[in-house]
């Protein structure tokens, strides 16, 4: 893709993701994402990078100002995942050991029933297993086991989740 067409695509995506009508955003995202599940809500002003590498499951909630990065590999989001506002999920980063500041990427997998709280950051190559919880403002640098609650920089285990995970997320505000 040439620079001009990429810039045009990015501008189009930012305009559509700004619109206060979820039905328009969802129709557009069904076209550009790798996959978009049923009953999924993606709020306004979500920053989507390389959407063809982003796969979103059913009953997912992605709140405003989140960053979904598919540039460095696949970003796979399972079912009933709750991603709070201002969460950053990266598949691409700079290699701090490279003399020329090159980038390196790895996919990210977020399994079913994961909850990522406000302003958390998930780095490339991480897998969040079923039912994991990432606390507010945490930075996840390593895989998180099933039903584990992590917090901090870097994120460390602070608790275990004790839930049968029977819920389905069905968040649908009218003008969000």
pLDDT tens string 115-161: 999 999 999 999 999 999 999 999 999 999 999 999 999 999 999 99
What is the spatial distance between Cα 156 and Cα 91, in angstroms, rounded to a whole number? Answer: 20
- Is the per-residue pLDDT at 1 higher than 90? no
Q: Grade residue 174 by pLDDT with cuts at 50, 70 and 90.
A: low
Q: Output the pLDDT for position 116.
A: 98
Q: Output the pLDDT for position 79.
A: 98
Can you tell me which residue has the tokens 């796979």?
Answer: 76
Prediction pTM value? 0.94
For residue 22, indicate whether it is catalytic. Answer: no
CB of 140 closer than 8 Å to CB of 128? yes
Catalytic residue of the set 65, 94, 101, 162: 94
Greatest CA separation found in the chain? 50
């Amino acid at each position: 893709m040439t620079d001009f067409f990429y810039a045009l695509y990015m501008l189009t995506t930012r305009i559509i993701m700004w619109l206060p009508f979820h039905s328009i955003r969802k129709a557009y995202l069904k076209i550009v994402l790798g996959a978009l599940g049923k009953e999924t809500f993606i709020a306004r002003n979500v920053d989507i990078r390389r959407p063809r590498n982003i796969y979103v499951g059913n009953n997912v909630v992605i709140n405003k100002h989140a960053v979904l990065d598919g540039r460095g590999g696949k970003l796979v989001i399972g079912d009933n995942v709750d991603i709070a506002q201002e969460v950053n999920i990266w598949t691409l980063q700079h290699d701090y050991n490279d003399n020329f500041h090159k980038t390196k990427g790895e996919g990210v997998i977020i399994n079913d029933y994961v909850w990522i709280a406000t302003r958390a950051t998930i780095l490339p190559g991480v897998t969040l297993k079923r039912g994991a919880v990432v606390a507010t403002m945490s930075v996840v640098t390593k895989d998180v086991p099933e039903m584990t609650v992590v917090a901090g920089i870097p994120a460390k285990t602070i608790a275990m989740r004790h839930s049968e995970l029977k819920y389905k997320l069905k968040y649908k505000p009218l003008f969000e």
